[in-house]
Structure 1
Amino acid sequence: MKITKVDAFQMNWDASGKGSRSAFVRIQTEDGSFGLGEASPMQGGLASLGIIANDMASFLIGKDILDHAVLLDTLLHKCIKLGPDGAATGALAALDIALWDLKGKLLGQPVYKLLGGAWRTSLACYSSIGGNAHRSVAEVVDIVLRRVEKEQPAAVKIRWDGDRTRQDVDIAGDIAKAKAVRKALGDDFVLGFDANNGYSIGGAMRVGRALEELNYAWFEEPVQHYHVAAMGEVAQRLDITVSAGEQTYTLQGLKDLINAGVRMVQPDIVKMGGITGMMRCAALAQAHGVELVPHQTQPSIGHLANIHVMATVMHLAKPVELADDWERADSVFKNPSRPVNGCFELPTRPGLGMEFDEAEMKRRSIPITQ
Structure 2
Amino acid sequence: MPNDGAGAAARAMPLSADHRIASLEAFQVSWRPNDPPGRRTAIVRVRTDSGLTGYGEASPMMGGEHSLLVARDFADSLVGADPFDQAVIHDKLLHRYIKLGPEGAVTGALAALDIALWDIKGKALGLPIYKLLGGAWRTKLPFYASIGGNANRSVDEVVRVVEQRWKAESPAAIKIRWDGDRTRQDYDIPGDIAKARAVRALVGDDFPLAFDANNQYSVGGAIRVGRVLEELGYIWFEEPVQHYDVRAMGEVAQRLDITVSASEQTYTTQALVDMIEAGVRMVQPDIVKMGGITGLMQCAAICFAHGVELVPHQTQPGLGHVANLHVLATLMHNTKPAEFADPDDRMHVAFENPPVPRDGSFEIPDGPGLGLRVRDGEIDRRRS
> If the TM-score is normalised by the length of the shorter chain, which range does it land in?
over 0.9
Q: Report the residue type matching 1:31 in the other structure.
A: S
Q: Map residues 255-334 of structure 1 onto 2, 5 A cutoff.
A: 255-334=273-352
1:36 equivalent to 2:55? Answer yes
- Give the deviation of 1:331 after TM superposition: 2.6
CA–CA separation in structure 2 for the residues paired with 1:67 and 1:323? 33
- Give the deviation of 1:342 after TM superposition: 0.2
CA–CA separation in structure 1 for the residues paired with 2:278 and 2:36? 42
Deviations 1:174-228 (A, max 9, x none): 0000000000000000000000000000000000000000000000000000100
Query: 1:23 is paired with a residue of what secondary structure?
Result: strand
Residue 72 (structure 2) aligned to one of 53, 59, 62: 53
Deviations 1:281-303 (A, max 9, x none): 00000000010000000010000
1:348 equivalent to 2:355? Answer no
- Give the deviation of 1:359 after TM superposition: 1.6
Identity %: 65
1:177 equivalent to 2:191? Answer no
Q: Report the residue type matching 2:293 in the other structure.
A: I
Query: 2:346 is paired with a residue of what secondary structure?
Result: helix
CA–CA separation in structure 2 for the residues paired with 1:150 and 1:360? 29
Q: What's the counterpart of residue 233 of structure 1? A: 251
Query: 2:29 is paired with a residue of what secondary structure?
Result: strand
Query: 1:44 is paired with a residue of what secondary structure?
Result: helix
Q: What's the counterpart of residue 147 of structure 1? A: 165
CA–CA separation in structure 1 for the residues paired with 2:182 and 2:343? 22
Query: 2:211 is paired with a residue of what secondary structure?
Result: strand
Q: What's the counterpart of residue 116 of structure 1? A: 134
CA–CA separation in structure 2 for the residues paired with 1:92 and 1:320? 23
Query: 1:124 is paired with a residue of what secondary structure?
Result: strand
Deviations 1:107-166 (A, max 9, x none): 100000000000001100000000000000000000000001111100000000000111
Residue 165 (structure 1) aligned to one of 170, 179, 183: 183
Q: How many residues align?
A: 365
Give every structure 1 segment of 4 or more consecutive aligned residues whose post-TM-superposition deviation is greater than 6 Å: none
- Give the deviation of 1:17 after TM superposition: 4.1
RMSD: 0.9
CA–CA separation in structure 1 for the residues paired with 2:159 and 2:242? 26
Q: Report the residue type matching 1:45 in the other structure.
A: G
CA–CA separation in structure 1 for the residues paired with 2:59 and 2:285? 12
Residue 42 (structure 2) aligned to one of 10, 13, 23: 23
Identify which range, 123-132 or 8-17, moves more after superposition: 8-17
Q: What's the counterpart of residue 106 of structure 1? A: 124
Query: 1:157 is paired with a residue of what secondary structure?
Result: strand
Listed as ranges, the gaps of 5+ residues in structure 2 are: 1-18
Q: TM-score, normalised by structure 1?
A: 0.97
Query: 1:235 is paired with a residue of what secondary structure?
Result: helix
Q: Report the residue type matching 1:26 in the other structure.
A: R
Q: What's the counterpart of residue 82 of structure 1? A: 100
- Give the deviation of 1:18 after TM superposition: 4.5
Q: Report the residue type matching 2:373 in the other structure.
A: E
CA–CA separation in structure 2 for the residues paired with 1:233 and 1:18? 38
